[in-house]
């Protein structure tokens, strides 16, 4: 049998982190672990979502002795408002990110620097929105698509255009339950308004709006962000990449791109490929320029350029602690302010680029759509600056952990279909190309038990990446296919679970599917904004199956979530009819009604809800049981 190379264990990853933490100690600088210790015990009222500081009468905290806030709001209202605000903030994040992309699309031109890389997707989007394409200049069409897209944020009437991509049953549910989102910004504003002092105190209504504002993200901002990003920078295809800190190079200029919005990093990648800057790097004694990614910017860049991935959320400090980073360039979201201090221990230059994300200690070089024309030159300037910084690296302080794993990434929905085409038979009538039918047949027959979307962040409340990896391993061993995005995807890549030969860890069913189709058992679908791709994936499967999404043996799982974006995501996934399994409790525990509403109440609205369990092993067992229940209902 062919030899299978080793997978990276969680213990090996933790040993790398421990070594880097030691370096931090020597430098007398703290990392998140120490800050977490310093924060203990964390505020119980905050944790339970029952500390209200929405108005200046407060803060009010709910206790058995004081069951109401000064205004009379009870625990349910306080926890519910807090929960909705989180969802609204998350939705605002993805959607504002999408807005920036839409503005970039609006600034595209034939001469660049931002151009159209996927014209077919642009034209498809235009046609979907009834925009004339015949005989028109591509960029004219692009600008109109951008404008129509931008109108989705603030249009005064109607609901979002993308909703009609869903199954008919879903659209009906959304309409009947009055959770179909209107303009994106409106849903965010409405959420803030509803939760303001003296407004909604009914937890049920707050949860319903959480679903709606979540949908404004998943079936609005996120979906647009993904589509427009594909149009601008190309729809991802299958690529080979490498993951974990070992991708930093001892003898090259290391530049980290970190954050979520790829328009800045795209320019940096292009700039680093220019011959003159590469020559310049060599002149400065480096063997080349090594751009590597962190967080979701890594996910975006890897599936479009094969840019290697240094790590996920909780590795951002580790990357700097290697002492081998000439420059860290960040855009938006999930950037530790701690980096502004940590970078002072090294020669590293820390560049912030967005007015959305200003951090003390950083050098601010603004990249916005308004100044899109100069983006490439600015990026090149930064790369040159990083090259110049190479000679300042203190080689005595460099420690790059050796662990890396190869990974095969880049499976947007059309790529999944292309892969499935490979197992159809041209002589069998009921075996069409261009559909999810082969996957459906594999699920119906029981070869695959179902699928799980593994998403979400890292959270110091649990061992970093441990829950992700444990759950993934158990799922694939039980013939459950995984699609992954965000930090979950990176956890899989670092462990080696996105290698083609990771099929050896699978049950016979998933292993056979991986062999026949030629895919890893965990399909990388992109960044956290790309969870909208997963919604289209399940919708496509449901349509080809002729059932509604909520009937499918497919669920979502965010075992280590922490961001408000995750709350928005969880809400749109549930709205889409898909159960979400959480390994971290939402901060509503102080309200029994809220706990009941998010786990059971939403099922009456949209057929799905949360299942919460902090033990990853128990959580994965309940996922498998949930999938089997759905199978039973389908009679398969």
Stretch that binds other proteins, among 92-100, 423-431, 466-474, 615-623 (CB under 8 A): 423-431
The verdict on 444 binding other proteins (CB under 8 A) reads yes
Contacts 24+ apart (CB under 8 A), 362-366: 362/330
The verdict on 431 binding other proteins (CB under 8 A) reads yes
The verdict on 503 binding other proteins (CB under 8 A) reads no
The verdict on 500 binding other proteins (CB under 8 A) reads no
The verdict on 447 binding other proteins (CB under 8 A) reads yes
Least distance CB 273 / other proteins (angstroms): 34
Please, which residue, 65 or 427, has the CB nearer to other proteins? 427
Please, which residue, 74 or 479, has the CB nearer to other proteins? 479
The verdict on 515 binding other proteins (CB under 8 A) reads yes
Answer whether 451's CB lies under 8 Å from 480's CB: yes
Which of 6, 370, 427, 546 binds other proteins (CB under 8 A)? It is 427
State how far the Cα of 63 lies from the Cα of 61, in Å rounded to an integer. Answer: 6
The 3-class SS string of 437-501 reads HHHHHHHHHCCCCEEEEECCCCCCCCCCCHHHHHHHHHHHHCCEEEEEEHHHHHHHHHHCCCCHH
Give the dihedral of Cα atoms 454, 460, 464, 467; nearest 10 deg. Answer: -50
Which of 512, 543, 603, 621 binds other proteins (CB under 8 A)? It is 512
SS3 415: helix
The verdict on 516 binding other proteins (CB under 8 A) reads yes
The verdict on 546 binding other proteins (CB under 8 A) reads no
The verdict on 540 binding other proteins (CB under 8 A) reads no
Stretch that binds other proteins, among 248-256, 307-315, 427-435, 588-596 (CB under 8 A): 427-435
Q: Using CB under 8 A, which residues numbered 195 to 224 contact other proteins?
A: none
The verdict on 249 binding other proteins (CB under 8 A) reads no
The burial class, CB within 10 Å (0-12 / 13-18 / 19+), for 498 is: buried
The verdict on 449 binding other proteins (CB under 8 A) reads yes
Answer left, alpha or beta for residue 420, where phi above 0 means left and psi between -120 and 50 means alpha.
alpha
Stretch that binds other proteins, among 96-104, 243-251, 505-513, 567-575 (CB under 8 A): 505-513
Please, which residue, 370 or 430, has the CB nearer to other proteins? 430
Stretch that binds other proteins, among 175-183, 278-286, 399-407, 436-444 (CB under 8 A): 436-444
Q: Which DSSP state fits 226?
A: H
Task: Count the site residues for other proteins by CB under 8 A.
Answer: 30
Please, which residue, 201 or 442, has the CB nearer to other proteins? 442
State how far the Cα of 620 lies from the Cα of 176, in Å rounded to an integer. Answer: 33
State how far the Cα of 273 lies from the Cα of 383, in Å rounded to an integer. Answer: 10
Please, which residue, 50 or 420, has the CB nearer to other proteins? 420
Q: At what angle do helices 531-545 and 437-445 cross, to 10 degrees?
A: 70
The verdict on 442 binding other proteins (CB under 8 A) reads yes
The verdict on 509 binding other proteins (CB under 8 A) reads yes
Which of 6, 28, 38, 428 binds other proteins (CB under 8 A)? It is 428
The verdict on 5 binding other proteins (CB under 8 A) reads no
Stretch that binds other proteins, among 64-72, 148-156, 445-453, 564-572 (CB under 8 A): 445-453
Please, which residue, 214 or 509, has the CB nearer to other proteins? 509
Residues 6 or more apart in contact with residue 531 via CB below 8 angstroms: 218, 222, 453, 455, 485, 486, 525, 569, 573
SS3 308: strand
Which of 9, 251, 287, 425 binds other proteins (CB under 8 A)? It is 425
The verdict on 2 binding other proteins (CB under 8 A) reads yes
Answer left, alpha or beta for residue 539, where phi above 0 means left and psi between -120 and 50 means alpha.
alpha
Q: Using CB under 8 A, which residues numbered 461 to 480 contact other proteins?
A: 478-479
Which of 64, 130, 156, 635 binds other proteins (CB under 8 A)? It is 635
Please, which residue, 492 or 624, has the CB nearer to other proteins? 624
Partners of residue 452 on adjacent β-strands: 482, 555
Residue 447 tokens, joined: 């070869």
Least distance CB 427 / other proteins (angstroms): 4
State how far the Cα of 417 lies from the Cα of 429, in Å rounded to an integer. Answer: 18
Q: Tell me the DSSP string of 249-268.
A: -TTSEEEEEEES-HHHHHHH
Residues 6 or more apart in contact with residue 207 via CB below 8 angstroms: 80, 83, 84, 594, 597, 598, 601, 602
Rg (CA), the chain: 24
Which of 43, 151, 625, 636 binds other proteins (CB under 8 A)? It is 636
The verdict on 3 binding other proteins (CB under 8 A) reads no
The verdict on 42 binding other proteins (CB under 8 A) reads no
Least distance CB 490 / other proteins (angstroms): 29
Answer whether 448's CB lies under 8 Å from 480's CB: yes
Partners of residue 556 on adjacent β-strands: 453, 580
Of the candidates 317, 316, 270, the one whose C-alpha atom is nearest the C-alpha of residue 291 is 270
Note the residues at the interface with other proteins (CB under 8 A).
1-2, 420, 423-428, 430-431, 438, 441-442, 444-447, 449, 478-479, 507-509, 512-513, 515-516, 635-636
């Amino acid at each position: 049998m062919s030899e299978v190379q080793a997978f990276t264990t969680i213990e090996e990853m933790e040993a790398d982190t421990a070594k880097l933490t030691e370096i931090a100690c020597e430098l007398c600088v703290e990392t998140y672990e120490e800050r977490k210790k310093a924060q203990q015990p964390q505020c119980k009222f905050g944790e339970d979502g029952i500390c209200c500081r929405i108005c200046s009468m407060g803060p009010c905290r709910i206790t058995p002795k004081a069951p109401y806030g000064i205004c009379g709001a009870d625990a349910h209202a306080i926890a519910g408002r807090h929960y909705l605000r989180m969802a609204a903030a998350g939705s605002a994040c993805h959607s504002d990110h999408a807005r920036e992309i839409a503005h970039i699309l609006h600034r595209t031109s034939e001469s660049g620097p931002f151009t159209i890389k996927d014209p077919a997707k642009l034209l498809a989007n235009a046609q979907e929105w009834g925009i004339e394409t015949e005989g028109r200049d591509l960029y004219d069409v692009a600008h109109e698509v951008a404008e129509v897209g931008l109108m989705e944020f603030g249009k005064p009437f109607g609901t979002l255009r993308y909703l009609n991509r869903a199954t008919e049953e879903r659209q009906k549910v959304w309409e009947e339950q009055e959770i179909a989102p209107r303009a994106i910004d409106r849903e965010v504003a409405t959420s803030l308004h509803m939760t303001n002092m003296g407004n909604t105190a009914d937890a049920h209504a707050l949860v319903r709006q959480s679903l709606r504002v979540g949908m404004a993200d998943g079936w609005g901002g996120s979906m647009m962000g993904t589509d427009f990003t594909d149009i601008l920078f190309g729809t991802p295809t299958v690529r080979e990449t490498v993951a974990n800190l070992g991708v930093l190079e001892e003898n090259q200029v290391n530049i980290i791109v970190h954050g979520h919005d790829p328009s800045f990093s795209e320019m940096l990648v292009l700039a680093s490929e220019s011959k003159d800057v590469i020559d310049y790097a060599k002149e400065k004694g480096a063997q080349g320029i090594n751009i590597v990614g962190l967080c979701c910017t890594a996910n975006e860049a890897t599936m479009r350029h094969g840019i290697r991935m240094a790590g996920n959320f909780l590795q951002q400090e580790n990357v700097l602690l290697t002492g081998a980073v000439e420059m860290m360039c960040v855009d938006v979201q999930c950037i530790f302010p701690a980096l502004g201090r940590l970078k002072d221990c090294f020669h590293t230059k820390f560049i912030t680029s967005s007015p959305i994300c200003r951090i003390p200690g950083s050098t601010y070089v603004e990249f916005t759509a308004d100044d899109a024309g100069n983006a490439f030159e600015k990026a090149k300037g930064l790369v040159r600056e990083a090259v110049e910084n190479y000679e300042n690296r203190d080689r005595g302080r460099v420690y790059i952990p050796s662990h890396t794993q190869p990974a095969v990434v880049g499976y947007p929905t059309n790529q999944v279909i292309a892969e499935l085409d490979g197992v159809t038979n041209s002589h069998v009538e009921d075996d069409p190309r261009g559909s999810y039918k082969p996957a459906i047949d594999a699920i119906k027959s029981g070869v695959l038990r179902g699928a799980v979307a593994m998403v979400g962040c890292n959270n110091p409340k649990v061992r970093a990446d441990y829950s992700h990896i444990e759950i993934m391993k158990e799922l694939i061993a039980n013939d459950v296919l995984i699609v992954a995005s965000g930090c979950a995807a990176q956890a899989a890549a670092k462990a080696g679970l996105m290698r083609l030969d990771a099929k050896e860890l699978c049950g016979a069913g998933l292993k056979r599917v991986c062999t026949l189709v030629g895919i890893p058992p965990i399909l990388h679908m992109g960044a956290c904004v790309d969870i909208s791709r997963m919604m289209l994936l399940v919708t496509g499967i449901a349509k080809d199956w002729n059932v509604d999404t909520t009937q499918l043996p497919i669920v979502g799982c965010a075992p280590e979530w922490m961001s408000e974006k995750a709350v928005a995501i969880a809400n749109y996934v549930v709205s889409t009819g898909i159960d979400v399994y959480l390994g971290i409790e939402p901060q509503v525990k102080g309200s029994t009604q809220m706990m009941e509403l998010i786990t059971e109440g939403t099922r009456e609205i949209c057929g799905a809800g949360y299942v919460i369990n902090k033990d990853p092993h128990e959580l994965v067992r309940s996922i498998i049981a949930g999938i089997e229940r759905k199978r039973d209902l389908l009679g398969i």
